[in-house]
Amino acid sequence: MSQKLQGKVAVVTGASKGIGAAIALQLAKEGAAVVVNYSSSKEGADRVVSEITGNGGKALAVQANVAKPADIQRLFAETKKAFGQVDVLVNNAGIYEFSPLEAITPEHFHKQFDLNVLGLLLTTQEAVKHFPSTGGNVVNISSVVATSPVPNAAVYSATKAAVDAVTRSLAAELGPKQIRVNAINPGLIETEGTHTAGITESDFRKQMEQQTPLGRIGLPRDVATAVVFLTTPDAGWVTGQTLHVAGGFR
């Protein structure tokens, strides 16, 4: 079976677990060499790398907090040193903190915007310096809350609405360089994080499933396969799009 990303190098931020780990594994399955970025979970990142290399793929774990410019530069320097090039960036690193309006603080705001929006912009800025002259691919992981915000998530929802706007703006700006920029907007996905937060067994999950035409919450692989599509030549004329991967939830 031909691999659609053979010879390509992909950087996936926040890839030690959950959606990011699934994306890294799926990109590797299609032949890409993958840099598994992590901020604090070295054990998780090493596990993802081991699974990829165990299946005959190429992967490397690189620690970097993508809210910090110096860390971003090191992330791409280590990628180039290991694999010689960069073709794909998946901006998956992000955090969410819920808070009612009366409890919102500048710290709550800046913590999420610095990583989810500014970090995404700075990481893309650095990636573009390293993409080949033939172009490159950026996929931003947004959320359905960008257009369907939920209570107590004003700041988080705002970061994801910003990601959608950034995606469209950068697609227009970078298109002449043959760099495609798209976003995936997942619905509720079952991950380690949602289990830890108690969401997976909650009434909120049941409510989401009732509002989802396909009647279930998502799995990380549901997002990963969509990301792979956007990075392959199959999506060669697709840019500036936000693809909802949410079982029909709007």
Hey, which residues are catalytic here?
156
The position carrying tokens 């650095």 is 126
Q: For residues 7 and 228, is the Cβ–Cβ distance under 8 A?
A: no
Give 180's strand partners: 137
Backbone angles phi, psi at 96, to 5 degrees: -135, 135
